[in-house]
Amino acid sequence: MAHAIKFHPSMALLEQFAEGTLSADVALAVSAHIDLCPHCQRLNRDITADMASQLEKAAPTGSSTDWQDMIAAIVAQPQLAKTAQPELAQAQPIRVNQREFVMPRALQRLAAEHGKWLQLGGIATAKLPAGAGHHVSLLYIADDTEVPQHTHLGLEMTLVLAGKIVDENGEYVAGDLLINSPDDTHTPRTLAGQDCLCLSVLSAPLQFKKGLTRLLNPLQQFFY
Ligand SMILES: [Zn+2]
């Protein structure tokens, strides 16, 4: 692989994912990252196996079949996800800007239900159905395009699905998961000759830093 994934979910986030305690939309981004990241696939298997063995230790003596079924179900989850892959690999690619993108397994069902693409300069966005409290969208950025500098009123998770994006903090390739909190300000952009498709999960609108508020308000609505 020419470009290795460098930005992974934290261990805490992977643990919460395995425990099933993340909100559906955050879990979606983590799950799609795991699909793209062999490193986190291994970690996820280890965490899940660890949880199962801890449950086993905690099991009452002469444990009931219910308990064993529960452990079996937890251990079986990653394998189930794997065997479901071949049929879903035929899922329709996402088309935007005369380009086609194949979605990671975890995203295929939801991505197929995307809303209308809205275009603003070189940037296009399409909403995905989301749970309460989050805004989930596909974000396409044509090559050589800058997203205006912004901070975050809430959590911003961006999973690069294809292509490359850069900001003040680094370069992000397919599989990289960027998590920005309200304290972070950044100006993501694409380079010449390289567009980018991302999954964006926001818990609050972006706040743009430069220019006139009256011009930036529509921008804020565009991204949320
Ligand atoms: Zn990873």
Dist. CA 100 → ligand 1 center (Å): 24
Mean pLDDT of 114-137: 88
Mean pLDDT of 9-36: 94
pLDDT 10s digits, 186-214: 888 999 999 999 999 988 766 666 655 55
Return the bridge partners of 164, or none. 173
Residue 90 is predicted with a pLDDT of: 65
Return the bridge partners of 139, or none. 125, 198
Dist. CA 116 → ligand 1 center (Å): 30
Dist. CA 63 → ligand 1 center (Å): 36
- Average pLDDT, whole number, for the chain? 83
Residue 80 is predicted with a pLDDT of: 46
Tell me if the domain spanning 1-224 has CATH number 3.40.50.970: no
Sequence-distant (≥ 6) Cβ neighbours of residue 155 within 8 angstroms? 26, 179, 180, 181, 182, 201, 202, 203, 204
Separation of alpha carbons 64 and 62, rounded Å: 6
Cβ atoms 29, 159 nearer than 8 A: yes
pLDDT 10s digits, 208-218: 666 555 555 66
Sequence-distant (≥ 6) Cβ neighbours of residue 200 within 8 angstroms? 125, 135, 136, 137, 138, 139, 156, 157, 158, 223
Mean pLDDT of 150-165: 87
If pLDDT is split at 50, 70 and 90, which confidence band does 69 have?
Answer: confident
Residue 210 is predicted with a pLDDT of: 62
Task: For the beta carbon of residue 202, count every other beta carbon within 10 angstroms.
Answer: 22
**Best-predicted range by mean pLDDT (69-78, 89-98, 129-138, 190-199):** 190-199
Q: Which residue has the higher pLDDT, 115 or 133?
A: 115
If pLDDT is split at 50, 70 and 90, which confidence band does 83 have?
Answer: very low
The helix (H) or strand (E) run that includes residue 12 is helix 11-19
Dist. CA 175 → ligand 1 center (Å): 7
Residue of 72, 34, 31 whose CA lies nearest to 52: 72
In the chain, where the domains are located: 1-224
Mean pLDDT of 52-71: 73
Residue 92 is predicted with a pLDDT of: 84
**Best-predicted range by mean pLDDT (78-87, 163-172, 200-209):** 163-172
Dist. CA 8 → ligand 1 center (Å): 4
Residue 56 is predicted with a pLDDT of: 83
Sign of CA dihedral 96, 34, 192, 183: positive
Residue 163 has pLDDT above 60, yes or no: yes
Tokens encoding 165: 């994006």
Residue 159 has pLDDT above 70, yes or no: yes
Residue 213 is predicted with a pLDDT of: 54
If pLDDT is split at 50, 70 and 90, which confidence band does 85 have?
Answer: very low
Dist. CA 215 → ligand 1 center (Å): 37
